[in-house]
Amino acid sequence: MTRPTHPLLSRGLPTLLALLLAALAGLLFTLTQGSTDIPLARIWQLLWHDDGSVEHLIIHQLRLSRGLSAFAVGGLLALAGALMQVLLRNPLGDPYVLGVSGGAASAVLAAMLLGLPVFWHPPLAFGGALFSMLLVFSLARRGNWTGNRLLLTGVVVAAGWSALISFVLSLSPPVRLPGMLFWLMGDLSDAPPPGPGLLLLLLGLLIGLGLARDLNLGSQGELRARSLGVDTRRLQWLVYGLASLLTAVAVSLAGAVGFIGLVAPHLVRLLAGSDHRIVLPGAVLLGGTLLTAADTLARSMIAPQQLPVGVLTALLGVPVFLFLLNRPARVR
């Protein structure tokens, strides 16, 4: 008799491996793109040896740093999206649906209107996101918890932020508008060094993986999860807090990059099933890769001018997602 293999290993591991390779390819791709032409062999050499040249500076300080920032932001958003979808038991969940980005955007736009230096934008974005998260939390926690109550509270708070954002935009002098719109669509050109973002991403993923089986049960319904020994109340608040914090970090690094958080988890589910032990790392890899690729194109397509990366994530992501969603079901 053959030993039965774990069902996750047959489909999940190959997918994760492929996504890991794609992530490395994406990073390599972003290193080759830019105004200075550096051949691949030279890039490889420069990655490991500092020869004091300008090219070394370009590869490390500019391209690698920005590529890793993009990867961190994409990974954070995809992870937060996957968590939100389980929390709300709704496939339309994304990191922004509960108003976290709205709080961040309102704070940053107000800062831009007042002409505060760029240096202040990340901490303000983080503060705004945190404020919005606590606001929704304190409004939704009264009474019995249901996913719908949280969703409704979050959506209404988000609508409030959205009105505030429009208000600030309409007050702003035209010269400041492009910067504001770039921020709203997501933009990595002012992103700080990637280290902290990557570290938080790793930490968030580890916590998420520790909750992965609970998340699987949680998405099967509250009663079922509880009867199988999941403390659903604790799980819900934990997931809410984690997803909101991850989103707040992502938004403070790169503005409100759309689409990744909704689509990356679903793409992984389509490829490898719904077990979160696979979905969470898969979404991180895919989200990071998507944003790295999109950001590379955003800064190189019509160089020297840059596009907001959020525009490209949607332009690339929509057709890919629709194709995968509508492809004929595999014969099982």
Partner 1 sequence: MSLLQTAELIVSVPGRVLCEDLELRIEPGQRWAILGPNGAGKSSLLHTLAGIRAAAGGRVLKEGVELQALPPRARARHIGLMTQDDELAFPSTVLEAALAGRHPHLGRWGWEGADDIALARQSLADAGLAGWEQRQVDSLSGGERRRLAIATLLTQQPGLALLDEPSNHLDLGHQLQLLDLLCGRFADDRHALVMVLHDINLALRFCDHLLLLPGDGSWQAGPLDTLATTDRLGPLYGCELFEIEVGHHKAFIPAG
* Contact residues: partner 1, CB under 8 A: 3-4, 6-8, 85-86, 89-91, 209-210, 213-214, 216-217, 219-221, 223-224, 226-231, 269, 273-275, 277, 332
* Residue with smaller CB distance to partner 1, 61 or 148: 148
Distance of closest approach, residue 102 Cβ to partner 1, in angstroms: 25
Task: Please tell me the distance from the alpha carbon of residue 217 to that of residue 29, in angstroms, as a whole number.
Answer: 39
Q: Does residue 69 come out as left (phi exceeding 0), alpha (psi in the -120 to 50 range) or beta? A: alpha
Distance of closest approach, residue 227 Cβ to partner 1, in angstroms: 4
* Residue with smaller CB distance to partner 1, 63 or 266: 266
* Residue with smaller CB distance to partner 1, 46 or 217: 217
* Residue with smaller CB distance to partner 1, 141 or 224: 224
* Residue with smaller CB distance to partner 1, 187 or 275: 275
Contact present, 191 and 69 (Cβ < 8 Å): yes
What DSSP state is assigned to residue 175?
G
* Residue with smaller CB distance to partner 1, 6 or 49: 6
DSSP 138-163: HHHSSSS--HHHHHHHHHHHHHHHHH
* Residue with smaller CB distance to partner 1, 35 or 227: 227
Sign (positive/negative) of CA torsion 254, 97, 81, 318?
negative
Distance of closest approach, residue 325 Cβ to partner 1, in angstroms: 14
Distance of closest approach, residue 262 Cβ to partner 1, in angstroms: 14
* Residue with smaller CB distance to partner 1, 216 or 244: 216
Nearest 10 degrees: CA dihedral of 80, 86, 89, 91?
60
Contact present, 167 and 274 (Cβ < 8 Å): no
Distance of closest approach, residue 213 Cβ to partner 1, in angstroms: 6
Instruction: Name the token pair of 273.
Output: 């099933």
Nearest 10 degrees: CA dihedral of 104, 138, 221, 287?
10
Task: Please tell me the distance from the alpha carbon of residue 184 to that of residue 10, in angstroms, as a whole number.
Answer: 41
Task: Please tell me the distance from the alpha carbon of residue 217 to that of residue 63, in angstroms, as a whole number.
Answer: 41
Distance of closest approach, residue 221 Cβ to partner 1, in angstroms: 4
Task: Please tell me the distance from the alpha carbon of residue 293 to that of residue 299, in angstroms, as a whole number.
Answer: 10
Q: Does residue 190 come out as left (phi exceeding 0), alpha (psi in the -120 to 50 range) or beta? A: alpha
3-class DSSP state of 194: coil
Distance of closest approach, residue 209 Cβ to partner 1, in angstroms: 8
Radius of gyration of the chain (CA): 20
Task: Please tell me the distance from the alpha carbon of residue 332 to that of residue 324, in angstroms, as a whole number.
Answer: 17
* Residue with smaller CB distance to partner 1, 6 or 142: 6
Distance of closest approach, residue 88 Cβ to partner 1, in angstroms: 9
Contact present, 86 and 225 (Cβ < 8 Å): no
Distance of closest approach, residue 12 Cβ to partner 1, in angstroms: 11
